[in-house]
Structure 1
Amino acid sequence: MSDATDPTGDNDDTEGRIYDSASDHAFPDERLNEVLTYINGDAEIQAYLSAQNVNPVARKQYNDHGEKHIEIVRNRALCLYDLLKEGGVTFNGARQQGLDEADEPVIVALAATLHDIGHVVHRDDHPYYSIPLAADLLDRVLPELPFYDVAEAVRLKGEVLHAILGHDTAEEPLTLEAGVVRVADALDMESGRSRFPYEQGGRGINTVSSQAIEAVNLRPGDSVPVLVEIEMTNAAGVYQVDNLLKAKLRDSGLEEFLRIVAVNTRQDTERIVERIEL
């Protein structure tokens, strides 16, 4: 299965943006690709991804947390994971549970897919509602996959739930797999994410600051494994970078592996902020 489409609809550059199952990767990808095919064909999972957007967008006028958000976060998470693996980073979640290296991206993909389903209950405290809902789904899904016996399914389930919980800044990720999901969640910050609440009159700082972010790309870094390049059109985008992304990166376990550079690309007015770097 290939996710090689641009979920934002406004940038043809897929480098560091889209996970393509047909490409070569720095990790064993066969197991992951089969799981992605399963996810996309599972009616219950897809129903959750649609239903979970009602509370944040329609009722709270908050940024998108539905199917498009999940697609972007999963793509970014897998691209980030791939670059980290290419840079020689050793992951600990699957390994410490006695699982295979091939299970690392499965943990990342499943957690990225299910991390926000708690929004069907409420926007507030949604990570804690996501845990029991995701646990029920995993109890059904994992036995249907051909890779895991009972003990392995229990261990994988625990790692996925840990990564889901860890995407909340109030919690501490204890694995790099969880750290990848946490940071990838913040990397969905481009203007398309705030389109619906903005059109409906939502003008909170999350919505307005998202409107200022033009593009986010992940590339191999020179001194670190990953360079995150962010293009913004006005200073409001600083909130997304310095408040939201910085908060997610803190205590993620990935701080030493990422360099984040944000540049104000607008040329027609005096720029309050030209460049920031984390």
Structure 2
Amino acid sequence: MKSPKEIALEKYFLKLIPSGGSSERLARLLVDDDEVQLLQDHANSVSIKRLGYNDHGPVHMRQVAVNAVRMLELLRASGITTSLEAEQIGTYEDSLDAVMLAAFLHDVGMSIGRQDHEILSVIIARPIMERLLVQVFPDEPNRRVIIASTATEGIVGHMANRRIHSLEAGIILIADGCDMEKGRARIPMTINTTPKVGDIHKYSSNAIDSVTIGHGKKRPIRIDVKMSSDVGFFQVEEVLLQKINMSPVKPYIELYASVQDQDVKQYV
């Protein structure tokens, strides 16, 4: 059974997708696929119950999808072409398809464990990508290869420990970093009371009240982070900012963070 939060995010995600094309069909296949759902559920169980980490399951992956599609839209509205468009090997819709696949599958490797989970995610995700893409593009193998390859770069690169080069993969990197509101840390904060290495991520995430993505003043994308205490700056500076700095999308990002009733801090 899907949680109310999953259902709400799915509805919002689907509203962001242009209707009537291949992207809408792929989006609906992703949200309705039993294997994808089961992998996301188990990844969350392993992450929270076994390892004591925060949410890496269906809610997180849907939130990353929403973040990524929103940023892709903002770039397009500002006249920024995707890598597939600029290289004349794909369309905007192909880039959107790659971003959706990467967002929904980037953390399925957490169903096995944390170490190198981005590589494990690729191993698990590639057959799923092919299974879904062949339903959307049954007679276009070259298109399937390009979309799957671009999505794979997004999955491999989402931890900011490998250099990535496409705009599409760079969007996944930042979209993942933007999911750091306090709700993501709520469950592990409740069930894990013994101090352990990595707790700073839970506590700093718990201080983040909201992350909003919208139009920037001087750049296409503005990210605003509102927090309840200074500990939230750790999450901004050690997670989100590091991902922005590693992303090809960095030139198009404005990042601001502030504690309630205090001055806003601008990073990029």
TM-score of the two chains, using structure 2 as the length reference: 0.89
2:144 equivalent to 1:153: yes
Question: In the alignment, which residue of structure 2 is the partner of 1:139?
Answer: 130
Partner of 2:204: 209
Match of 2:36 in 1: 45
Q: State the 1:250 CA deviation.
A: 1.1
> Is 1:237 the counterpart of 2:226 in the alignment?
no
2:242 corresponds to 1:247? yes
Structure 2: state its 5+ residue gaps.
Answer: none
Return the alpha-carbon distance in structure 1 between the equivalents of residues 235 and 264 of structure 2: 14
CA–CA distance in 2 between the matches of 1:8 and 1:244? Answer: 27
- Alignment CA distance shift 1:43-1:157 (3 Å): same
Q: CA deviation at 1:251?
A: 2.2
**Any conservation in 1 of the 2:258–2:264 contact (CA below 8 Å)?**
yes
- How many angstroms apart in 1 are the aligned matches of 2:160 and 2:237? 14
- Tell me by how many angstroms 1:73 deviates: 0.6
How big is the shift at 1:181? 0.4
What CA distance in whole angstroms lies between the structure 2 residues aligned with 1:206 and 1:93?
35
Decide whether the 8 Å contact of 2:226 with 2:257 is kept in 1. yes
> How many Å separate the matches in 2 of 1:8 and 1:263?
30
Displacement of 1:7: 5.8
Which deviates more from structure 2 when the two are superposed, residues 56-65 or residues 141-150? 141-150
- Identity of paired residues, percent? 26
Aligned residue pairs, count:
259
1:60, 1:42 → 2: CA distance?
A: 26
RMSD: 2.4
Q: 2:175 aligns with which of 162, 180, 184?
A: 184
Q: Give the letter aligned to residue 55 of structure 2.
A: D
Structure 2 counterpart of 1:218, one-letter code: I
Q: Does 1:276 align with 2:265?
A: yes
d(CA) in 2 for partners of 1:103, 1:145? 11
Report Cα offsets for 1:52-95 as digits up to 9, x if no partner. Answer: 11221111111100011011111011111111111121111365
Which of 101, 114, 117 is matched with 2:105 structurally?
Answer: 114
Partner of 1:76: 67
Which one has a larger percent helix, Structure 1 or Structure 2?
2
AA aligned to 1:230 is V
Contact persistence 1:21–1:33 (CA under 8 A) = no
The 5 Å alignment of 1:2-21 reads: 18-19=12-13, 21=15
Structure 2 residue 228 is the aligned partner of structure 1 residue 223: no
In structure 2, how many angstroms separate the alpha carbons of the residues matched to 1:62 and 1:253? 28
Aligned to 2:256: 261
Q: Tell whether the 8 Å contact from 1:212 to 1:237 is kept in structure 2 after alignment.
A: yes
CA-CA distance at 1:234 after TM superposition: 0.1
**Paired position in structure 1 for 2:117:** 126
